[in-house]
Structure 1
């Protein structure tokens, strides 16, 4: 079953969860051949059920000891722009669409998403542009994220966060 896995990490990002279960987003996912939506909602207050989103197979959970199996089984990962979540998805070699929380102040997540996008490793959008991005995304342009260069990633994060 062609699966989309959505993760917000350990945070709360209700706006992303609401955006991905909207009728318009679900319709686009179905049109693109996705049949299953797995949501990791973290501390959020939005906890969709199959009644909330009846046109696609839906699984929802808050936390697991590991989301490695969910990532492995996904055909597309949609994630908040946390560095850990991005790195885990990219390291698994999965197509990644990052949704930046544009309501965060001093948004280092946007800087990370822009850099990884400019390197062709992922696509990114905001909650307000999620459906349009899903409709027009071309996953074939994405390039693999090369493993084994953790210092380069750490250096980028230091620079983005103003540490160095």
Structure 2
């Protein structure tokens, strides 16, 4: 499903927010949170032009309903929204959109569930990443993983209750990541590296 509000005006350079819940578990609360007036308002504040939502195998009805509610307000017309369930080819091309925004675009952000594969893919592309743990899942380490990676300043730990704040923090992280020395030096230079954090939090210990 897509939604366009260009009205014949030449498109401006894109800045894409890509949201993914992954392929295996439902994450209705994340879909609900990003399709809210508060999140759309934050997208406009930080210059985003596009919101792309991977809503999973059973999230389409919620996506359509929430987006209609947003559009019925008559606000946030500068944000173009689109969504899809699953893509067997993977999410790489969508992350690249968030990274580059298309020709002449600005770097955006990825908002992701705390799946280790998705996190690593985003970090390899060096696109700012907001990791949102799915606290509805039992016996998982998503919160611990998000906290550990955020402490090392690899990602922003996003919380369902305040994603606009996470979007603001992602803008600050973007600036810090482009500075020298890297954000993981200095006070963090003797801390665990990314591989160590991922292995420990996901249980891949010797």
- Please give the range of the TM-score, normalised by the shorter of the 2 chains: 0.7 to 0.9
Say if 2:19 is the partner of 1:6: yes
Q: Which runs of 5+ in 2 are unaligned?
A: 1-13, 99-107, 185-192
Distance 1:123 1:9, change over 3 A: same
1:12 is displaced (CA, Å) by 1.3
Mapped to 2, the partners of 1:36 and 1:134 lie a distance apart of: 14
1:48 is displaced (CA, Å) by 2.9
Q: Output one character per residue of 1:11-49: Cα deviation in whole Å (capped at 9) or x when no partner.
A: 211100110010111011111100110000112332237
RMSD: 2.4
* Runs of 4+ with >6 A deviation: none
SS at match of 2:56: coil
TM-score (norm 2): 0.68
Say if 2:68 is the partner of 1:51: yes
TM-score (norm 1): 0.84
On the 8 A contact 2:19/2:111 being kept in 1, the answer is yes
Matches within 5 A, 1:3-152: 3-10=16-23, 11-45=25-59, 46-48=62-64, 51-54=68-71, 55=76, 56-64=79-87, 65-74=89-98, 75-137=108-170, 138-139=172-173, 140-142=175-177
SS at match of 1:59: strand
1:122 is displaced (CA, Å) by 0.5
1:112 is displaced (CA, Å) by 1.4
Q: Output one character per residue of 1:115-152: Cα deviation in whole Å (capped at 9) or x when no partner.
A: 2111111101221121232245422234589xxxxx96
On the 8 A contact 1:13/1:44 being kept in 2, the answer is no
Give the paired residue count: 158
1:52 is displaced (CA, Å) by 4.2
Larger radius of gyration: 2
